[in-house]
Amino acid sequence: MKRFLGTILVFSFCLSLSLGQDRLVYQVRGWHPKPMQGQQMEDAMAKKTKKYNVGKENYPMFSFRVITGKDEGAVIRVTPRTFADRDKYPLRKAELDYWQKNVIPYVDMSKDEGTTLWVQMENHSYNGSGNTESLRYSVVMEYLVHPAKLGVWREFRTQLVEAHKKAGSKARFAHYRRFSGGKTHLILMTVPFDSWADYENLVPIVSREIFENAHGEDTLREWLDRIGDILEYRKTHIREYLPDLSTG
């Protein structure tokens, strides 16, 4: 028990160090429309975004429609701000009142899971594409890592980034870790693409050729043999960026 508590305290201390005031925190919430009211919900969100977010740099907003999987039709709203800015620019009452009056009537609140907070795992992200723009679509891979295996997972993902860097690959992917609002060992990896033709030609993130050229023969197979013990589950869906519900 003492060892467990010690581990928790060390993790909490490391977390406090990693979440610096200048680091972006991504506030995320999903909104599911009532049956046959998806367009009305999005139209109401677009009006709210134009009124309270566009042109106001301290209240950024990015929105995505889920287009595959069980949450198809849901809109994911993401606000990236520093921790300091979260103190300086709280939610405005007029904005909240507008949302409650004009958007919530179209929302299925029985599916609401509340707000979650995320940080990007910079050392597990890579962009060799030469493009930093927001693209139309993203593949989102969700990994629930066994709590006792987070260190092993980090080692594997670090080696994965090293392999892409060594190969000079054109891949682009980013990892994010949830630290509040649910299980903190949930990891998301996003892979953006601009068209379905691009999707077909995406550089494989876990590529045997890329990985083993960097780390040696059979190293990827050895890692994949361990994945079953590392992951509790893996899910994938695709999102579409909604510029009319976003600030940039």
Task: Output the pLDDT for position 8.
Answer: 35
Q: In angstroms, what CA-CA distances link 8 with 13, 77, 231? A: 9, 31, 20
Same-domain status, 101 and 151: no
With respect to residue 16, please indicate whether it lies within any of the assigned structural domains: no
The total of other beta-carbon atoms located within 10 Å of residue 77's CB is 20
Q: Are 236 and 72 in contact (CB under 8 A)?
A: no
Angstrom distance (rounded) from CA 59 to CA 63: 13
Task: Output the pLDDT for position 248.
Answer: 82
Average pLDDT over residues 131-158: 95
What pTM was estimated for this model as a whole?
A: 0.88
With respect to residue 48, please indicate whether it lies within any of the assigned structural domains: yes
Which among 63, 97, 117 is the end of a domain?
A: 117
* Domain range enclosing 196: 119-241
With respect to residue 196, please indicate whether it lies within any of the assigned structural domains: yes
Query: What would the pLDDT profile of 22-75 be if each residue is shown by its tens digit?
Result: 789 999 999 999 999 999 999 999 999 999 999 887 789 999 999 999 999 999
With respect to residue 9, please indicate whether it lies within any of the assigned structural domains: no
Q: Is residue 147 scored above 60 in pLDDT?
A: yes
Which among 84, 117, 150 is the end of a domain?
A: 117
The total of other beta-carbon atoms located within 10 Å of residue 143's CB is 20
Task: Output the pLDDT for position 21.
Answer: 57
Same-domain status, 93 and 25: yes
Same-domain status, 229 and 137: yes
Same-domain status, 41 and 81: yes
Q: Is residue 5 scored above 50 in pLDDT?
A: no
Same-domain status, 173 and 212: yes
Which among 86, 117, 148 is the end of a domain?
A: 117
Same-domain status, 135 and 85: no
Same-domain status, 94 and 140: no
Please name which of 61, 203, 24, 238 lies closest in space to residue 131, comparing C-alpha atoms: 203
Same-domain status, 224 and 237: yes
**Number of domains comprising the chain:** 2
- The CATH number covering residue 43 comes to 3.30.70.100
Same-domain status, 188 and 103: no
Same-domain status, 147 and 199: yes
167-187 burial, b if ≥16 CB within 10 A, otherwise e? bebebbbbbbbbbebeebbbb
Q: Is residue 1 scored above 80 in pLDDT?
A: no
Task: Output the pLDDT for position 20.
Answer: 54
